[in-house]
Structure 1
Amino acid sequence: MEPSKAYSYRVISDIRLERLGLFHVETWIQGNSYFSSIFLEKKPITKGKESAPKIINDELYYIKTESSAKLIAQGIYGEPREVLEMGKIMKFDKHEKGILVLGEEVVKEKDAPFVTRKRKYRFDGRGLLRSRTSLYLLERDKFRKVLGGDFDVTDFATNGKRVVVATSEPDDEMNIQSVFELDVNNGDTKRLAGEGLVSSLAMNLRGDVVYIGHNRGKTPWAVKEVIFPEEGKSYMCGKTCGSYVLTDVFDGSKDRVVYVNDEVISMGQEGGSTNLFRIVDGKVERMTSGNHVVRFFDYDGVSLAYSVTTPEKPSLLYHEEGVYDPNPELKGFSPVEVKSEIQGWGIITGEGNPTILFIHGGPHMAYGYSYFTEFQFFASQGFNVLYANPAGSQGYGEEFARRCVGNWGGEDMRQLLQFLNDAKKQFNLSGKFGVTGGSYGGFMTNWIVTQTDVFSAAVSERSISNLVSMCGTSDIGFWFNAVESGIEDPWTEESIEKLTKMSPIYYVKRVKTPIMLIHGEDDFRCPVEQAEQFHVALRSNNVESVLVRYPGEGHEHARKGKPENMVHRLSKKLEWFEEHLKKGDSSTS
């Protein structure tokens, strides 16, 4: 497989059951752009960059995204007409007064001076926060803001009359959210739920409310539940509701909860699998099963439609016992589960082939039964691929997810190295070993080469090298680094000392492993200065290091960056690992 062919597949998203039938969206890469079309009963009805189909007043409404976002309406036999234009449109729905729209206004002066008093003044993928996500109402020809301010409205739900919203108003700097009832006439709000995380919000036709999230404040390791805020009840689907299982397919999946009559449908994760669960009559029932990861779904009270990703297939659509595959010619390598104290997998191409250990980000995310373009690409190039879920990963209960807090690089690293040894014995691996990871996985890649020389080469992406400087440069570092390190205030002498000793840069003198650092220059989550520091320190100590920078790319550059950059990234990683793992001993420079 050539790097330019690695992303030659289609992915399914935006599944919607309407009276006209089953809608879904397919997205693909063409040249250096993403394209998407809306399908009805598996046949395309638009072509361009359309998404989010929904029937309102007997017309098909959808979002068309190019340099801006446009809400389009189209009758069955009519021509498309533009309803409104915004900078971004995240969601829309029918209300008795018109159409509710969640979005951001167009920023007209992007290069103007920017002044702030807040710690959260920029955000990865959004840049400087010159505009905020607000809720708007389109009433005939009148378009007005219903709720907005110096915070984000992150979701809303309505039955056509009642409206509830999730906002970051409780503590926007920490991105803590709550659920509020909203009066669309005057913008007044009434709190319905406590402070924590709201990842998806829904309402049935009676006006009952449900959401996925937690009420635990700034606790990134907390499991998510399905919460009925006005009933004081919550339910668990699997080991955590929603899904934390990673993939690098570009479908843009997010958590979703559906509330129809008395039934609530939610995704739930168990280990490396994500399936659908139904909550009815106070009981949680499994609706699907299998070693796969559900990405999108819809349920209308009778019919269920959902898409999954598997290790071998980027995207499959299930509906009424039928399966639709937009990539019938594609069949990836199948992984084998590794026998170790943690759950992990191996794609084994040959006992004597070089092996790459992949480390996921988060740290409270997970690998699992999903398609990974990168895994398949390196397997096609004759590498063995290993990946696992060490302490800190979600899908194994909250106690397991919290076990890395305050000790990044402790038990999590020990388990990864043990997993590597177990895989080596199980598959009789005799080739050289490399290591790679992004975000927290980039931290662990940087860290692990300061603690062991077992790896002959490393590639560290959007990484962390200095937890102290990151507190002042990351969009979330000032609070995330603190709670993950088990401290309250990162600016005390004791805290700075702990953060320093938890940082790979502190041990840089120990590094002997050749390392490539890959980073987006507009990454505000793990800023590029993290790679710059490590690269300069390594080169100053005569360790072979290469820094690859991508202008204009953020933290998601490896999953949904510019296609030509994603191809270039795979090419550079391949060159590095082939040079150091396949061509004999490496040398420092």
Structure 2
Amino acid sequence: MKADDIVRLVSVSSPTLSPDGGTAVVATAHPDLDADTYVGQLWSVDVKGSTSPRRITRGFRDAAPQFSPDGSAIAFLRAEPGKPAQLYVMATTGGEPIRVTDRKLGVSEFAWSPDGSTFAFVSREPEHGRYGTVEGVEPGAEPPRRITTYRYSANGVGWMRDRRTQVFIVPVPDLSAEPVVQPVASSEGPVESRAWVAEPRALTSDDAEHGAIAFTANGRHVAVVSDGHPGADDDLRSILTLVPVDDGEPRSVVGPEANLSMGESAGAVVVAEDGAVYFVAQDMGESGRDFVARNSGLYLVESVGERPRRLTDDETVDLTGSDVVLSPHGALVRNTERGRVTLLAVGRDGAVTTLVRDREVTGAASAGQTVAFTFQSDSTFGDLAVVDVARLGDEPTENDAVRVLTDFSSEVRASGIRTPIEFETTGRDGYPVHGWVVLPEGEGPHPVLLNIHGGPYAQYSVHLFDESQVYADAGYAVVYCNPRGSAGYGQEHGRAIKGRMGTVDLNDVLDFLDAAVAAHPELDGDRVGILGGSYGGYLTAWTIAHDHRFAAAIVERGYLDPQFFFGTSDIGSFFGEEYNGADPELVAAQSPQAHVGAVRTPTLVMHSENDLRCPLSQAERYFASLKRSGVETELVIFPGEDHELSRSGRPRHRVQRFGIILDWWARHLPSGRNSVTATE
């Protein structure tokens, strides 16, 4: 695929199922270069496969669909151009969606009450006088912010303490009611306009971030995850509270003494019929901030007042980013595992059954005996399937039990996709290193790009990866692996670089590169480039200070200067100290900025203007130091973008980014299809 083929990459939301399990609804989204944003709608899919999937909404960007408990309606989030997402609801029989909210800063998450009469939702509540709450007061005219905490902003959000996420409830509108018609003035004078939407009622108002909401079975409480506890600025602990919908006092389910971090992702908490609460969390240790390579697990609180009980193994099962879906087969969760994201069913006794193995599962739903899931693989960016649990066997493939219902990636496959070759080698110290090689067309030998992922506790996986596909189309063999420090291979694997970044992880990526070159004669080991973003930018910068074989390098949104990360990054108050330690000499021993004088490799430094995770100053200091040392270098800054540029930045910027990258390689590591001559 070429850079502008990203418009063919259709992502698919988690599914929702009708109560009878017969119909699934998903939301799709794809980059649109003309609109320079992401657009998508809802699709209805017959689970039996007797009819083709059909588009059922025509909004600009419709997302996060949820069937009502009785199946008569579908609620979803709709964003109009340049505006935040609002909550809408429509009848499953069709008709125009009805708007439910009119929040200044939009809605990020919602849940149906069990009787279908009420929505709970999460929305940012701006301080009066800020964020357009007073007409005519522009951002530059707002009063100054008084800051007394470490954490006051977040990448992709910006300032947050003056617009906290809060939980609200609002009645579900009558879908058969007559629409609101605005009255006009008469000879007796003007009249007040009628409200288009009902006024929501706040359930929370404390100085905290709230999320991961779920109604209890009787609808009287909403389970809410938040960081609203003393000391929240110094630790990563979460609390889980049952907040009454009407009268009564909140009830604590999980307090800060449990040392658990639950995040704020939608669907990560669910309440069973008998009141038992399931949730996904990480154990932060006694300090409340020991987050490095801590696997997220499934926890259960049988009844309020009991201590949480972990149901999954803390070393081998990692549910980071997973939601929880209750089913007759157990609680469905997604496990990060060896370049895959598998679908597990977990019983209350901790018994685990793997339902889907050899894919990257992105969401799941259950109704009746139907289990539907969305997934990615090496041939799709997103599709919907169902798994027949009764047909699962002991074999390491579930092909006989899985039925794929959609084909949203047919166009991108037609553009030309190279299938990654899975590969494993043994490193210099006997440790296994696992990853992939993507070969371009032709016999070779091809120049090689060593690509390094971010995180570091993340993984390269089997999904269709636009980076490797674009580079392969340009004539490059792409090599990428999951070195020590990565997720998916157990906590010990991930914690191997705690206090010693740039040691065994450096060895692993270089050993994997050497083994890939040796195993594949199509690779030209004398013509190699290296690139990576975030932690991948760190390890790229670290590598070129210690190994000078590379023709050129690209350091993108890098974690480059641990010393100056503190006080500038949105995670700076804890990330560097937990990964690199607090001793200045130890920190310097792991710092690319401290070793920049050893770099001789031509290096392109790319960064985003609004990156609050790895602030722009990280790139600026590194670039200036390279330039002072006489290293050939360039600094590219993308305006208006944050840390997520390569994944969810403006589509035009994403295409331009690929163009800049390929231009750099054309000048420093040309291929038969990408050279200064070929691109002129």
Verify same fold: TM over 0.5. yes
Q: Partners in 2 of 1:235 and 1:518 — Cα distance? A: 42
Supply the distance in 1 between the matched residues of 2:592 and 2:247 (Cα, whole angstroms).
52
How far residue 262 of structure 1 moved from its aligned partner, in angstroms, is 7.4
Write the mapping of 1:121-270 to structure 2, written as runs, cut at 5 A.
Answer: 121-129=152-160, 130-139=162-171, 141-158=198-215, 159=217, 160-170=219-229, 171-173=231-233, 174-185=235-246, 188-193=249-254, 194-199=258-263, 200-216=268-284, 217-218=288-289, 219-230=291-302, 232-236=308-312, 239-242=316-319, 254-260=321-327, 263-270=330-337
The letter of the residue matching 2:29 is: T
- 1:417 counterpart residue number: 510
Pick aligned residue for 1:308 from 363, 366, 375: 375
For 1:351-430, list aligned pairs within 5 A: 351-428=444-521, 429-430=523-524
Aligned to 1:524: 612
Alignment identity in percent?
Answer: 25
Is 1:276 the counterpart of 2:371? The answer is no
1:308-334 CA deviation, whole Å, 9 max, x = no partner?
111232112112624311122433211
Q: State how far apart, in whole Å, the 2-side matches of 1:278 and 1:25 are.
A: 24
1:9-68 C-alpha deviation (Å, 9 max, x unpaired): 212113100147210111112221210101112210112211122233733222111312
How far off is 1:198 after superposition? 1.2
Runs of 4+ in 1 over 6 A off after TM superposition: none
Instruction: Work out which of the residue numbers 28, 36, 40 in structure 2 matches 1:36.
Output: 40
Deviation at 1:569, TM superposition (A): 0.4
Alpha-carbon deviation of 1:5? 2.0
Structure of greater Rg? 2
What runs of 5+ residues in structure 2 fail to find an aligned partner? 46-52, 133-137, 173-197, 388-402, 426-431, 676-680
Secondary structure class of the residue paired with 1:176: coil
- In the other structure, the counterpart of 1:566 is 654
Query: C-alpha root-mean-square deviation of aligned residues, in Å?
Result: 2.2
The answer as to whether partners of 2:601 and 2:631 remain within 8 angstroms in 1 is yes
Please list the CA deviations of residues 327-359 of structure 1 after superposition, one character each: whole Å capped at 9, or x if unmatched.
224332111222312111111235411111111
Q: CA separation of 1:416/1:77 partners in 2, compared to 1, >3 Å: closer, same or farther?
A: closer
How many angstroms does 1:127 deviate by?
0.5
1:551 aligns with 2:639: yes
Amino acid at match of 1:128: W
Instruction: Give the Cα separation in 1 of the matches to 2:617 and 2:95.
Output: 53
Is the 2:121–2:168 contact (alpha carbons within 8 Å) kept by the matching residues of 1? yes
The answer to whether the 8 A contact 2:379-2:409 is kept is: no
1:162 maps to amino acid:
H
Task: Kindly state the Cα deviation for residue 176 of structure 1 after the two structures are TM-superposed.
Answer: 2.7
Counterpart amino acid of 2:228? Answer: E
Please give the alpha-carbon distance, in whole angstroms, between the structure 2 residues aligned to 1:289 and 1:578.
Answer: 41
Residues 262, 557 of structure 1: alpha-carbon distance in 2 compared, 3 angstrom cutoff: same
- Per the alignment, residue 5 of structure 1 pairs with 5
CA distance in 1, matches of 2:205, 2:492: 37
8 Å CA contact 1:241–1:266 kept in 2: the answer is: no
Task: Give distance in 2, aligned partners of 1:64 and 1:77.
Answer: 16
Does structure 1 conserve the Cα–Cα contact (< 8 Å) formed by 2:537 and 2:556? yes
Which residue pairs with 1:492 in the alignment?
none
Do structure 1's residue 45 and structure 2's residue 56 form an aligned pair? yes
Q: Does the 8 Å CA contact 1:212/1:257 hold for their aligned counterparts?
A: yes
Q: Which residue of 1 aligns with 2:541?
A: 446
Structure with more strand by fraction = 1
Q: Which of 105, 109, 115 matches 1:91?
A: 109
Separation of aligned partners in 1, 2:145 and 2:348 = 52
3-state SS, counterpart of residue 343 of structure 1: strand
Task: Give the TM-score, by structure 1 length.
Answer: 0.92
1-side partners of 2:335 and 2:564: how far apart? 36
| 1:62 aligned residue (48, 62, 76) | 76
Aligned twin of 1:346: 437
Residues 88 and 105 in structure 1, CA contact (< 8 A), matched pair in contact too: no
Q: What's the CA shift string for 1:526-571, capped at 9, x where partnerless?
A: 0010000010011111101111101111111110001100000011
Instruction: Give ranges in structure 1 of 5+ residues lacking alignment.
Output: 244-253, 488-494
Taking structure 2 as the reference length, the TM-score comes to 0.80
State which drifts further: 448-457 or 99-108. 99-108
Q: Distance in 1 between matches of 2:447 and 2:14?
A: 39
> How far apart are 1:283 and its partner, in Å?
4.3
Native 8 Å contact 1:212 1:241 kept in 2: no
Give the whole-Å Cα distance in 2 for the aligned partners of 1:46 and 1:359. 39
Determine if contact 2:345/2:355 at 8 Å carries over to the other structure.
no
1:540 aligns with 2:616: no
How big is the shift at 1:72?
Answer: 1.4
Determine the C-alpha separation between the residues in 1 that align with 2:310 and 2:329: 15
Contact preservation (8 Å) 2:67, 2:74: yes
More displaced 10-residue stretch of structure 1: 47-56 or 552-561: 47-56
Cα–Cα, structure 1 residues 339 and 83, in superposed 2: closer, same or farther, change >3 Å? closer
